[in-house]
Amino acid sequence: QGLISRHHIKGKMGFIQTVEPFVCGGTAASFASCVIHPIDLAKVRMQLYGQMNPGKPIPSFPTLLKNMIVKDGPMSVYKGVDAAVTRQLSYGTARLGLHRTFSDMMQKANGGEPISFAQKTASGMASGAIAVCIGTPVDVALVRLQADSMAEPENRKNYKNVVDTLVRVTTEEGIGALYKGMIPNILRGMAMNVGMLACYDQAKEVSGKLLGDPFTDGQPQLTTKLASSAIAGFTAALFSIPFDLMKSRLMNMRKDPITGKMPYKGIVDCAVQIFTKEGPQGFFNGFTAYYGRCAPHAMIILLSTESITAAYRKMMY
């Protein structure tokens, strides 16, 4: 019986260790999304503004937020927050958990030595792509919720929440509508993970050496964390914004009521139309809001994950 008990404890501890990066990563991602949701909402609106108002100058994100509060009240800046949290519980949990799991496996195979940047990149791309496949339906719901109030009152769908959006999009447009923008979303997820997670791991090694960080108990000092997460926030935004913009437009597209045609035939047509109508800079519409979203989001996740992990280990082990 003692042997069985030891096996049971060993199996339980193995499970706790396996789910650790997923539980801690998902918690950190959900917390970060709640904090930066108004900026994320403004970012999506800036990206869709050129599509819905061709030829008009795109307002700044402070102006967009101000107009929303004046028009629809203070709580309007948290429109779709339930979808944002649900998205992080699926997509965020998977991308952070898988990246850490893949990285740990590579490091173990490397004899415990730090893995190369190429390996970190491969881990980030693989985990980002898999996570997007899991979280795209909720991502579609989030974009629809955030964009709905931009439409004219007579054209609004008036989605109630994430569940209502998922159900209505499926019944009104078919299950395939939940996977609109899948390809740019996968590319975005891969670019985001490389820019945020792989670059963070690399920046942590480099900045730690420059700052003389002893990495006590394997943990970096706060100055190293802040420098690394700031770099990761910028690279994540820079690498992923073109794909994020195309993803938002493809997910939000609906048939023209007159012609019955979709505005874009696919990712290539979307890219060509943006380049033709808005120029190369069109791919970076909303960069200020996007960076303002990515940098704090990345920093909150990266800084809080290690604290959450420490608390998790203290509670569970």
- Do residues 237 and 301 touch, judged by C-beta distance below 8 A? no
253 dihedral zone (left: phi>0; alpha: psi -120 to 50; beta): beta
d(CA 76, CA 59): 18
Nearest to 159, CA basis, from 175, 177, 141, 171: 141
Q: What pLDDT is recorded for position 3?
A: 43
pTM: 0.77
d(CA 91, CA 129): 10
d(CA 306, CA 71): 40
- Do residues 46 and 289 touch, judged by C-beta distance below 8 A? yes
DSSP 197: I
Q: What pLDDT is recorded for position 6?
A: 53
Please enumerate in sequence order all residues whose Cβ is within 8 A of that of 279, keeping only pairs 6 or more positions apart, or say none: none
d(CA 252, CA 246): 10
Q: Tokens 């991602």 sit at which residue? A: 29
Ordered per-residue pLDDT tens for the chain, 317 residues: 444 455 555 566 788 888 999 999 999 999 999 998 888 888 778 877 777 777 788 888 788 888 889 988 998 888 888 888 988 999 999 999 999 999 999 999 999 888 999 999 999 999 999 999 998 898 888 888 877 877 778 888 888 888 899 999 999 999 999 988 788 889 989 999 999 999 999 999 999 999 999 888 777 888 998 899 989 989 999 999 999 889 888 877 878 878 888 889 888 999 999 999 989 998 988 788 788 778 888 889 988 888 898 889 888 87
d(CA 171, CA 128): 29
Output phi, psi for 286, to 5 deg: 80, 20
d(CA 38, CA 162): 17
